[in-house]
Amino acid sequence: MPSWSSNFTSSAPVLGLGLIAILSCTWILLQRSRASAPNPSIQHYQWDNRAAGTAKKRWLWDSLTLLREGYFRFYNQPWQVWTSEGYQVVLPPSYVDELKMLPDHTLPSSLREFMLPQYTFKPFPSWKLDYVNHVILHDLNKNMAKVFPAMSEEVDFALSEEFPSSTDWTETDIATQALRLICRISGRAFVGSGSTDLHRNEEWIDISCRYTKDLFLAALKLRAVPFSFLRPLVAFFLPDLRRVYRHNDRARALVQPILQQRERDAKTVVVDPGYVKPNDTIQWLHDLIPDGDKKDYAYQGAAQLAITAVSVQSTSKLIVNIMLNLIEYAEYVPVLVEEIKTVQAECGGHWTLASMGRLEKLDSFMRESLRFEPPLTVDLKTATFQRRAMKPVKLRDGTVLPPGTLMLAPADAIAFDRTFYPDPETFDGLRFEKLRQQAVETGEVQGKVRHQFVATSKTQVQFGLGRHACPGRWFAGHAIKLVVASVLLNYDFKFRDGEVNKTKTFLFQTTNMPHPKTRILIRKKL
Ligand code: HEM
């Protein structure tokens, strides 16, 4: 029988590890409790828990009302709210405007943190997502005129694949179809240049859609874990996260042969005058990353999925909301159809990039849909402009936010502030078109631009603001216009029998999505 001392000796490492674990947990808890204490120099919104629910319950399930309440109670002043990421400072519009251009070493975006890339982008370091942002901000926008014709061409094909072809009413899971639709259309711009037709590969479409869903769900579930030190444990067992890793593996398998072929083709450039460099995100990313990473096909596959994820989710959700609004406020349909037909005729039946700018009523309807019911899945309905102070940040009222402070703009509350949007509770599809017209009449030079779908300002923060404002909003705007125009011209759609209003959206934390059970009836026009 082993002696006490030998027992002790053999279990000593285990005891030691146990002790280290306990001490680490205690230290982390202490840090956490310190980090999650409210900043004493900023007003802290408190309410009667028995009547309204605890801070946690409200943040998880009622953030929309919570942020609206605080916004109007502390009108024009910063205040604090408990969130699953600790206390966050909620900034009124004028403060957001002042901070919007602070450099990254002082006030970087914390949106990425929110997606917990240390789990969801594993094993790649999260800073490598900077390349993704760069590709969208610089290459995609610079090449918009080149990718637009292909996108436009893809819309009718994608609709014929995803929407009912029958002239009888067909019940449709619109959220799923819109996601697949936009995966195909943006796929054409992202992974469909030259001889590459990954955007039509069913496996790619499938993983693009599933990856996006699994990624957001994994991040959402991990964020809901109250103590961050427990997240690695939860992550280990999280099926959504395991699926994300599997999608990454598949993406590598699909992207690798394309990259290898392109590397071979590129070598022929000296002898083949007909060589045309592909023009898509696969190529732009490959050109951008350092030589040492060019053979890292796993990273490049995962990065392509990351590009898809940031773009398709919010865009497809907005398409769903626009369609639901078109059913609910059907009086706009003939007005928009007339505009679409007129502009299309002016450009000879084929959409051009310039013609997108002439769809002013549609643009207005899109922006009102964005204001009224933002589509979003990443903290973007009720809050945008998420930032973390890396250095002390002085606010205009003299308050200094210490490093580590998280902050946000209450996008939804601002969008319903009657000072900026008269009669905010009324859906006015032509609200922004009228403002544009007024601007023209009064000779306000910036007016036409200021009221566009893609415009950002301190009172229009649905795309964020400043240095990190959404770089994909022009792309989103064009994709949505192409889809909605084609749907309006080629399909009829309505609620199911007996339904008169759209299904309420589903809100968790600050994530807003069309209700998973949303179904509508669609038929192809005769
Ligand atoms: C209706 C559609 C969309 C909405 C409402 C939306 C909204 C947003 C918002 C609110 C932010 C945070 C901005 C901030 O913190 O100031 C953001 C960031 C971002 N969006 Fe979008 N977005 C949309 C479509 C897209 C598309 C189509 C792409 C890509 C083609 C894209 C790529 C990105 C990227 C890369 C960032 C991070 C920017 C950074 O941190 O610098 N988005 N988006």
- Among protein residues, the one whose CA lies closest to atom 7 of ligand 1: 463
Mean pLDDT of the chain: 87
Rounded to the nearest whole angstrom, what is the distance from the C-alpha of residue 448 to the centroid of ligand 1?
Answer: 22
Q: How far is CA 206 from CA 155, 198, 281, 303, in A?
A: 18, 11, 19, 16
472 lines ligand 1 (CB under 6 A): yes
Domains of the chain with CATH codes: 15-105+381-417 (no CATH), 106-380+418-458+462-524 (1.10.630.10)
Inter-axis angle of helices 360-372 and 431-442, nearest 10: 120
Distance 221 CA to ligand 1 centre (A): 21
Nearest CA to ligand 1 atom 43: 470
385 lines ligand 1 (CB under 6 A): yes
- Looking at residue 25, its pLDDT comes to 47
From residue 122, how far is each of 39, 67, 133, 248, 464 by CA, in Å? 33, 33, 18, 10, 26
Q: Which of 463, 475, 480, 481 to mutate to test the pocket of ligand 1 (most atoms within 8 A of CB)?
A: 463
**376: pLDDT strictly greater than 70:** no
Å from CA of 93 to ligand 1 middle: 19
Mean pLDDT of 212-241: 89
pLDDT at residue 502 above 90?
no
pLDDT at 106: 97
Hey, which of 5-19, 79-93, 468-482 has the most confident mean pLDDT? 468-482
| Model pLDDT for residues 118-152, shown as the tens digit of each residue | 999 999 999 999 999 999 999 999 999 999 999 99
Q: Is the CB of 481 within 6 Å of ligand 1?
A: no
The confidence score (pLDDT) of residue 507 equals 59
Ranges of beta strands (E only) in 160-225 are: 170-172
Q: What is the mean pLDDT of residues 5-24?
A: 47
| pLDDT for the residue numbered 50 | 77
Helix (H, G, I), strand (E, B) or coil at 525: coil
| SS3 call for 261 | helix
Question: Nearest residue CA, atom 15 of ligand 1?
Answer: 385
Overall average pLDDT of the 212-224 stretch: 87
Choice among 123-137, 284-298, 446-460, 482-496 with the minimum mean pLDDT? 446-460
Tell me the pLDDT band of 501, cut-offs 50, 70 and 90. Answer: low
Is any ligand 1 atom within 6 A of the Cβ of residue 310?
A: yes
Question: What is the residue with the minimal CA distance to atom 21 of ligand 1?
Answer: 470
pLDDT tens digits for 49-88? 877 788 888 887 788 889 999 999 999 999 999 887 789 9
Question: Residue 112 C-alpha to ligand 1 middle, in angstroms?
Answer: 11
What tokens appear for 416 in the block? 């319903």
